[in-house]
């Protein structure tokens, strides 16, 4: 049909007609072929044949073909023998022009609707991808935060554990020194008591008595020094002892770490 239209525009009507025949030399009976044949006869000024084929083309044809047919029939109605059909052809052409316009508009609406739906789907997919990326980044950020908090918690627990261990060792060292001081004080006290008893009984000579009194004074002075050192050690040990609330907090942290692991 397109090739026939080219021949018609070039004025080569015979070639255009040949394209409308089958292998047996008979015209095709499709609406498009009949419309093309009628158009060719119209251009050849064979109006009776043109009228025949154009009216035949109205059977089983679409609105576009019928619009083209009525355009040719309206041209044909300017000739005297077909003027009586002019009003009918004009009304029919107007009706099919309106039908074609509505059909074209419907097609445009369908095309625009399809484009809109496609763009809407693309936008939705992009939005979903953005939300997916945002969710992934948020989960990654939360994971990093949890890991950092866990590392800090482990670090805090280990530092506290080391500090407690160091305090324990220091307490043991101070306790050992305190025990040594107390033992020495006990021995000195026993010796002092013995010397005091000897002096009270006056069993020793006067020269020995003076020596014993010097020893007694020296022992008392040493005991005073040991007592001050013992008090200082007790205060240091009291400072180093972990309060019960802090100990409970450390145990709670350790329990949480064990559950996390």
User: pLDDT digit string (tens) for 61-78?
Assistant: 789 999 999 999 999 999
- Helix-, strand-, coil-residue percentages of the chain, each rounded to 5: 85, 0, 10
Band (pLDDT 50/70/90 cuts) for residue 99 is very high
CA distance 1 to 60: 17
How does the average pLDDT of the chain come out, rounded? 82
Q: Tell me, what's the pLDDT at 18?
A: 65
Residues 6+ apart with CB under 8 A from 73: 51, 54, 55, 82, 85, 89, 92, 93
What percentage of residues in the chain have a pLDDT greater than 70?
A: 78
How far is C-alpha 126 from the geometric centre of its chain's CA atoms?
A: 12
User: pLDDT digit string (tens) for 192-219?
Assistant: 888 888 777 765 555 677 777 788 788 8
CA distance 80 to 25: 33
Residue 164 has pLDDT above 50, yes or no: yes
CA distance 63 to 59: 11
Residue 23 has pLDDT above 50, yes or no: no
What percentage of residues in the chain have a pLDDT greater than 90?
A: 33
Phi/psi class of residue 62: alpha, beta or left (left: φ > 0; alpha: ψ in -120 to 50)? Answer: beta
Q: Tell me, what's the pLDDT at 61?
A: 75
> Which residues on adjacent β-strands are paired with residue 27?
21
Stronger pLDDT, 185 or 28, i.e. the higher one: 185
- Mean pLDDT for the stretch of residues 141-162: 93
R_g over Cα of the chain: 60
Q: Which of 39-48, 57-66, 67-76, 247-256 has the lowest mean pLDDT?
A: 247-256
Q: Tell me, what's the pLDDT at 9?
A: 64
CA distance 50 to 35: 9
User: pLDDT digit string (tens) for 106-124?
Assistant: 989 999 999 999 999 999 9
Q: Tell me, what's the pLDDT at 24?
A: 42
């Amino acid at each position: 049909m397109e090739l026939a239209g080219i021949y018609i525009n070039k004025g080569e009507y015979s070639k255009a007609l040949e394209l409308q025949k089958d292998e047996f030399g008979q015209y095709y009976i499709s609406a498009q072929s009949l419309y093309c044949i009628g158009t060719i006869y119209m251009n050849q000024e064979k109006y009776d044949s043109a009228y025949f084929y154009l009216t035949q083309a109205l059977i089983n044809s679409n609105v576009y073909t019928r619009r083209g047919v009525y355009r040719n029939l309206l041209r044909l109605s300017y000739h005297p023998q077909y003027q009586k059909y002019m009003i009918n052809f004009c009304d029919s052409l107007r009706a099919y022009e309106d039908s074609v316009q509505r059909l074209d508009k419907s097609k445009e609406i369908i095309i625009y609707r399809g484009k809109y739906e496609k763009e809407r789907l693309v936008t939705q997919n992009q939005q979903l991808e953005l939300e997916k990326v945002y969710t992934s980044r948020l989960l990654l950020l939360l994971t990093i935060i949890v890991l950092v908090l866990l590392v800090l918690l482990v670090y805090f627990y280990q530092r506290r554990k080391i500090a407690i261990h160091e305090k324990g060792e220091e307490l043991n060292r101070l306790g050992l020194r305190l025990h040594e001081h107390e033992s020495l004080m006990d021995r000195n006290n026993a010796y002092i008591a013995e010397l005091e008893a000897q002096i009270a009984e006056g069993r020793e000579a006067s020269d020995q008595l003076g020596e014993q009194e010097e020893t007694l004074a020296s022992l008392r002075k040493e005991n005073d020094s040991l007592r001050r050192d013992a008090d200082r050690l007790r205060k240091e040990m009291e400072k180093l002892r972990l309060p019960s609330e802090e100990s409970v907090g450390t145990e709670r942290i350790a329990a949480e770490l064990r559950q996390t692991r």
